Structure 1
Amino acid sequence: MRHFLPLCAVLLLAPAAALAQQGPASIAPLAAAPLPPKPPLQKQTGPATRAAAATAPADGAVVQIAAAAGAQGTAETVQRINDYFNSFKTMVGDFVQVDPDGTRRQGEFAILKPGRVIFRYAAPSRIELVADGRSVAVRDKKLKTQDITPLSATPLRFLLSENFNLARNANVTGVYKDDVFATVVLEEKQPMVGTFKLMIMFDAQTMQLKQWTVTDPQGYDTTVAVSKLDTSYRPDPALFVINRD
């Protein structure tokens, strides 16, 4: 049996359709990894947007800023997020995933840049997601099957790139900041499929990664909140191998 693999499945989460076939996982309360509210995604047309346009990088970046209380300059926010992502090559931590139907799942993940990540879902889930720098595989450990997608065809490449630069990323449609969170919104258009949105949220003070939300072309959201992040531990490169035999 092969798993349905929509584009959102390779945005750092396993396909909800495949996971749903296995029954609910044993999940800790979401309070252990709180999910902050989503900011508005619509384009702003007030003074804050015009001010942001005036301070935007001159290289043609598509960035805007929400007219929120306590908002800071867009260029400064973009630079701080860039600096944060480029400050580490590895990251390990825990995650809690919330599927479109409200189901919560949890597990552990590890990143080894460029291009490599593994997400291991806690039992009773048998799904594992792995990217090896070229491809992304969603594996069923019990059935010993996998679906493989080119990494370059997925927005996952944004978070796993060696040189993260929002100012030069044409997929960025919004940058927002208030007193609690800094948020980046990206859109990925796929022919014959539609537009996927990826919203990444950071702590406004430290710029530490907090969560991301994938919105598929039908408007369904899947959210992943991360916690206990460690950028000093180097995971074993053997974790990120995809067997193509």
Structure 2
Amino acid sequence: MQHRLRALASLALLIGATSAIAQTNPGSASTKNTRPAAANDKIAPDAAIDRANAYLNSAASLVADFVQVGADGRRSEGKLYVRRPGRLRFEYAQPATLEIVADGTSVSIRDRKLATNDMYFISQTPLKFLLKERIDLRRDVKILNVRETKTGVVITIEDKATFGGTSLIKLIFDPKTFALKQWHVTDPQGYETLVSLFNVDLTQTPDSSLFKINNERMLNPN
């Protein structure tokens, strides 16, 4: 169960990340030729939060590849589909066996290998604020810290889910373009996860059928 909860907590950040990455380079999760801002150009915390909100709200749908690296160094990858508000789908590539689908109300975490399917309301998960029609970090989460480092602007937030406890999330933005470069999630057990997006496409609107929780497949997982 815990590995599925960690997957859900860390992958939640992919949703909000996509629009920020796509603003500078829709085909890549990295930003080329960036440099830290000069000391007298450092962004104020309130301005950083405003820009983060603007990017997180700038796209309602996307298709992207994702790569996840867990605390044990294991690498998983797959395809992400999002249609806000409320809908997403993570398809893990083999040998991973997870599939996560949100249909607007519920979230299904299906493990083909274990033949399990765990169901939650979106409001019970870390996805709740990132799947809203309108995201507001000041309103939706507790902002612990905003600081600028040599590599970017780091916004640290605290997310209190109904189950599982509290997760700490660090969003790292480019100081000039404010493209989201990477993010780290520390779950309630202290496990850390790194997530990256690639080949982000905001021109596609994923078909509604991708977000249907298939009850027949729950009963016949293979």
TM-score (norm 1): 0.68
Does the 8 Å CA contact 2:107/2:119 hold for their aligned counterparts? yes
**Alignment match, 1:13:** 11
Does the 8 Å CA contact 1:13/1:129 hold for their aligned counterparts? no
**Alignment match, 1:131:** 102
**Cα distance in 2, alignment partners of residues 158 and 224 from structure 1:** 18
Mean CA deviation greater in 221-230 or 196-205: 196-205
**Cα distance in 2, alignment partners of residues 208 and 161 from structure 1:** 21
**Alignment match, 2:74:** 103
Unmatched segments (≥5 aa) in structure 2: 13-27, 31-37, 217-222
What secondary structure sits across from 1:91 in the alignment?
Answer: strand
Instruction: Give how far 1:201 is off.
Output: 2.7
**Cα distance in 2, alignment partners of residues 128 and 83 from structure 1:** 29
Instruction: Give how far 1:184 is off.
Output: 2.4
Q: Deviations over 1:79-120 (max 9, x none)?
A: 111111211111221111111111111111111101211111
Which structure is larger by alpha-carbon Rg, 1 or 2? 1
What secondary structure sits across from 2:178 in the alignment?
Answer: coil
**Alignment match, 1:174:** 145
Unmatched segments (≥5 aa) in structure 1: 15-31, 35-67
Distance verdict in 2 for CA 1:5–1:142, change over 3 Å = closer
- For 1:1-245, what aligned pairs fall within 5 Å after superposition? 3-4=1-2, 7-13=5-11, 69=39, 71-141=42-112, 145-178=116-149, 180-189=151-160, 193-244=164-215
- Size of the aligned set, in residue pairs, is 193
**Cα distance in 2, alignment partners of residues 201 and 176 from structure 1:** 10
Instruction: Give how far 1:170 is off.
Output: 4.3
Distance verdict in 2 for CA 1:192–1:142, change over 3 Å = closer
Structure 1 counterpart of 2:67, one-letter code: V
Aligned residues: CA RMSD? 2.8
Structure 1 counterpart of 2:110, one-letter code: R
Does the 8 Å CA contact 1:93/1:228 hold for their aligned counterparts? yes
Structure 1 counterpart of 2:8, one-letter code: V
Instruction: Give how far 1:236 is off.
Output: 0.8
**Alignment match, 1:48:** none
Structure 2 counterpart of 1:212, one-letter code: W
Distance verdict in 2 for CA 1:208–1:229, change over 3 Å = farther
With CA pairs under 8 Å and 6+ residues apart, which has the higher RCO, 1 or 2?
Answer: 2
Distance verdict in 2 for CA 1:164–1:240, change over 3 Å = same
TM-score (norm 2): 0.74
Identity of aligned residues (%): 41
**Cα distance in 2, alignment partners of residues 88 and 243 from structure 1:** 27
- 4+ aligned runs moved over 6 Å, structure 1: none
Does the 8 Å CA contact 1:33/1:95 hold for their aligned counterparts? no
Structure 2 counterpart of 1:135, one-letter code: S
What secondary structure sits across from 2:130 in the alignment?
Answer: helix
